[in-house]
A and B are shown apart, each in its own frame.
Chain A
């Protein structure tokens, strides 16, 4: 019986290698909780899966909720990119949502700090 389970699981694992899945955030710059000494020029997010550009977006806002984007966000492959205005010292919030190519949706939010 255990042999059958092993074979069935190997079959599933093989099929899984051909599929796509939820796009989880793998790294970001600036990253969650990061303290920066200077204003970043842009925010770049890297995901575990390729993204659907039309349904994926990232925003950066200041403590008053003002949008700090200097242009539209761009999603390509597994990355999302947003150019930023010059950020004054303070706390900023990053909010993103991503739709992978198989239409699964994920989202997240985090803060980073620009030091005086």
Chain B
């Protein structure tokens, strides 16, 4: 067992010597570490597991998961779903499993110096794979463009702004039926990395535990193109990123009446599989780890 592990490590180091650019992983581009966001997709094709993501509020409870597996470096496929318990006032209670959603993602731009990453994804929500009570019977296809940008390249005069980063997703949801509206889905996050502040800008004396906190404001909107107005939420919260896991908690604030009439909360436990299992299920199936 030990010899096998040692051989794997030697092979990995040999690959690193041959291809030194192949050496980053989940959420890291250059000096920037992007925490995994919980409302919007993050732009990295990495081995991760979000289990569970619990959302409470607006007369509904959701218990969701997402597993992402890298197939080759910078190309992954994620599988997501969950259980919904909905009980809007004056309506019948509905509970059951959501449709399974499969999303291949290709991270095709990674600029370490600019702390910039761009990915393309194509989500397929498989109609009928969930419970009839809560899930659509038709399939929905959503091509997406995702990006992340750290502000570490700002001049010294703006040093305290460098820990900021922005991520974004824009997608176009195409339902496989004429009875449902197509929609533009846009979401993302604005975050301030205390780790980046402490290590790359100014040591403000934070403990190692506190420095791993990232205040974040996420946003998530849907704008139907056929009929109806934009709905969405603004979600301020905190993400704590450890060596192997991260914890996140956010408030859910509806932006208008059509988006909901109560505040909510969302919490997530997220595992960095590439760190937990670096030589097995946390590594790409083919090729070296990116």
Contacts and interface: CB of A to CB of B under 8 A. Distances in A.
Interface in B86-143: 112
Contact of B244 (A16, A27, A34, A106): A16
B12 A109 contact: no
Interface in A8-32: 8-9, 12-13, 15-16, 19-22, 24-28, 31-32
B278 A19 contact: yes
B44 to A, nearest CB: 13
A26 B203 contact: no
Contacts of A5: 51-52
B24 interface: yes
B63 A1 contact: yes
A34 B203 contact: yes
A33 interface: yes
B269 interface: yes
Do most interface residues of chain A lie in helix, strand or loop, or is the interface mixed?
mixed
A22 B203 contact: no
Contact of A103 (B12, B112, B245): B12
A60 B278 CA distance: 31
Contact of B31 (A28, A103, A107): A107
A25 B199 contact: yes
Nearest to A15: B276
Contacts of A34: 203
B267 interface: no
Nearest to B22: A105
Nearest to B26: A22
A29 B257 CA distance: 53
Given A1-B63, A16-B276, A19-B277, A55 B201 contact: no
Interface string A44-65: 0000110010110000000000
Interface of A: 1, 5, 8-9, 12-13, 15-16, 19-22, 24-28, 31-34, 48-49, 52, 54-55, 99, 101-111
Nearest to B112: A107
B52 A108 contact: no
Nearest to B203: A31
Contacts of A101: 9
A19 to B, nearest CB: 5
A93 B182 CA distance: 51
B9 A103 contact: yes
Contact of B199 (A13, A22, A32, A54): A32
Counting chain B CB atoms within 10 Å of each CB, the highest count among A13, A55, A99, A102 belongs to: A102
Q: Which 5 pairs across A and B sit closest by C-beta, in order of nearness? A: A105-B23, A33-B202, A31-B203, A21-B275, A16-B244
Nearest to B273: A12
21 contacts: A9-B51, A12-B245, A13-B245, A15-B276, A19-B244, A21-B272, A21-B275, A21-B276, A22-B25, A22-B243, A27-B208, A28-B199, A31-B203, A32-B198, A32-B199, A99-B16, A101-B9, A102-B12, A104-B24, A104-B278, A105-B16
B30 interface: yes
Given A12-B271, A16-B245, A22-B25, A108 B199 contact: yes
B153 to A, nearest CB: 11
B101 to A, nearest CB: 19
A102 B52 contact: no
Given A15-B276, A16-B245, A107-B30, 5 more contacts: A1-B63, A15-B277, A24-B199, A32-B199, A99-B23
